[in-house]
Structure 1
Amino acid sequence: MARRYDSRTTIFSPEGRLYQVEYAMESISNSGSAIGILCKEGIVLATEKKVISKLLDTGAVGCRREKMYKLDDHIAVAVAGLTADANILINKARLSAQQYLFTYQESMPVEQLVRRLCDVKQGYTQFGGMRPFGVSFLYAGWDEESGYQLYHSDPSGNYAGWKAHAIGANNQQAQNILNQEYKEDFTFRDAMKLALKVLSKTMDSTSLTSDKVEMSTVKYDEGASQVVFSYVSEEELDPLTAEVNEEGKAAKTD
């Protein structure tokens, strides 16, 4: 028998709040996949684009990027789940980062920013009348104390550091591929190729094309002494997607 959810009777009980967390996790599982990979040159973030209509004005505010956001000069996130919920948390994170910069005249450590945002997310699981944020984040950043860092947080407020991680649809299958093929000496190209391979296995599509993928990199430029966050263009992705598709076809024939 299907479980019937009545907000009037269950939202204030522990069971009701647990149900809300489960509902938030389900909304993440139904969203597009997001992949984060730590390599020796930096961090690669890749997500599946759900909206690829030719009618979409990609130059308009709010449409340039679907699931990747810059929080500060040294940290960015990839999102899986409800984008509207993500926008609220992203604004809070940006405000926290700027307040820290104003107070201490230096960038906020990556883990400290992650922890502060997770405190907000956890607070929404404690009380009746509020539902958890239905979104998971992959944080990619660099600071002087710990170098490159990749974190994942979920609606409950838990977070952990990873060398490679996948969230969103078919995340378990994606995680299995990362466990088998990830290597710590990866270059940017190796990490990008692995991210595309993982996306090709999790997407509901027969072939992978660059217009269905959103990818970015985080790298510390020693010459300029600053962290560089940049998006990978479709032209740069085309050779890699073609290579991944060819390898996939070869694997099927074998």
Structure 2
Amino acid sequence: MIILPNIEGDSAYSFSLTTFSRTGKLLQIEYALNAVSNGRLSLGIATSDGVVIATDKKVSSPLIDVDNVGKISEIEKGMGFVYSGLGPDARVVVRDARKKAKSYKLMYGEEKTVTEVVKSTASLMQQYTQSGGVRPFGCSILAAGLDENNTPLLYQVDPSGVFMGWRATAIGKGYVSAKGFLEKRWNEDMGIEDGIHTALLTMREGFEGEITGKNIEVGVLRKDTGEFKVLTEEEVQDYLNESS
């Protein structure tokens, strides 16, 4: 039997991973979502011919090597993840997704669809909300990939293990205004090039300081090639110059 201290409100449940508070919340998951909300902004846009994901990778000191601060990860040839929240937690999620995608390909001779990878990732994150000796992951993931019909898809996976598909969305600090901006800009006829420009315009909207190819990272999944690619700093800067 769990004996909780005599503390008013939800404070008595703050450190319990598996006990609901009086308001029906698992507060450790709420804290994990707070970690996501305080993380750098990341966003994704699904277009008619691909998916664009972008993130703020601005660093706190000019002494930090920006080349080794990437937040966008290739899971396999036609799939990429971007995160907001705690980097070490995200690396565990990325490593697990890569391992399971590779195992699937070795076993069945074909690549796993983004939907199946997302389901597996969501299951991993959900397990960490109900197991002893662990805590929820302090990150949310945006996943870009293709389904079995070669349709570009964008998914979001949260620390609770909930996953959902989006046409466009944002996570991290400033996500509310970013999603509002995307709602006004997104349309069904949007192509991949328009998606890249819209992603950069959205990032620029709430960016503190000068936005450049060094502090913005962009990943692009193109339907025609079926390949996911992280753009170089020079390519991002060229798109920024076109958007200005």
Shift of 1:31: 0.7
Per the alignment, in what secondary structure is the counterpart of residue 192 of structure 1? helix
Once the two structures are superposed, residues 21-44 of structure 1 have per-residue CA deviations (whole angstroms, 9 ceiling, x without a partner) of 011000111111111111223111
What do residues 58-97 of structure 1 show as CA deviations (whole Å, max 9, x unaligned)? Answer: 56xxx1x521001111211011111100111111111111
Deviations 1:180-227 (A, max 9, x none): 11122222221111111111223233x4222220011111345xxxx2
Aligned-partner residue type, residue 236 of structure 1: E
Unaligned residue ranges in structure 2 (runs of 5+): 1-7
Deviation, structure 1 residue 4: 5.1
Contact kept? 1:169, 1:202, Cα under 8 Å: no
Change beyond 3 A, Cα 1:55–1:163: same
2:29 maps to amino acid: V
CA distance in 2, matches of 1:5, 1:197: 44
What is the root-mean-square deviation in Å for CA atoms of aligned residues? 2.5
3-state DSSP class of the match of 2:223? strand
TM-score (norm 1): 0.83
Residues 63-142 of structure 1 aligned to structure 2 (within 5 Å): 63=68, 65-142=69-146
Moved over 4 A (4+): 1-7
Secondary structure in 1 matching 2:214: helix
| Equivalent pair of 1:137/1:152 in contact (CA under 8 Å) | yes
Preserved CA contact (<8 Å) 1:11 1:129: no
Matched, 1:193 2:197: yes
Deviates more, 1:130-139 or 1:231-240: 231-240
* Aligned amino acid, residue 19 of structure 2: S
Aligned to 1:15: 21
The residue correspondences of 1:1-254 to structure 2 (distance < 5 A) are 10-11=16-17, 13-15=19-21, 18-51=26-59, 53-58=61-66, 63=68, 65-205=69-209, 207-222=210-225, 227-244=226-243, 246=244
Check conservation: 2:49, 2:222, Cα contact below 8 A: yes
> Which is richer in helix?
1
- The 2-side partners of 1:10 and 1:109 are apart by 36
Cα offset for 1:128?
4.1
Aligned identity (percent) is 32
Deviation at 1:109, TM superposition (A): 1.7
Contact between 2:79 and 2:227, CA under 8 Å: does it hold in 1? no
- CA distance, structure 2, for counterparts of residue 39 and residue 12 of structure 1: 39
Residue 3 of structure 1 deviates from its aligned partner by: 7.1
Give the letter for the 2:138 counterpart.
G
SS state of the match for residue 164, structure 2? strand
Q: Could you tell me which runs of 5 or more consecutive residues in structure 1 were left unpaired when the two chains were aligned.
A: 247-254
Q: Take 1:158 and 1:6, find their aligned partners in 2: how far apart are those partners?
A: 22
SS in 2 for 1:211: coil
Distance (Å, rounded) in 2 between the aligned partners of 1:144 and 1:119: 21
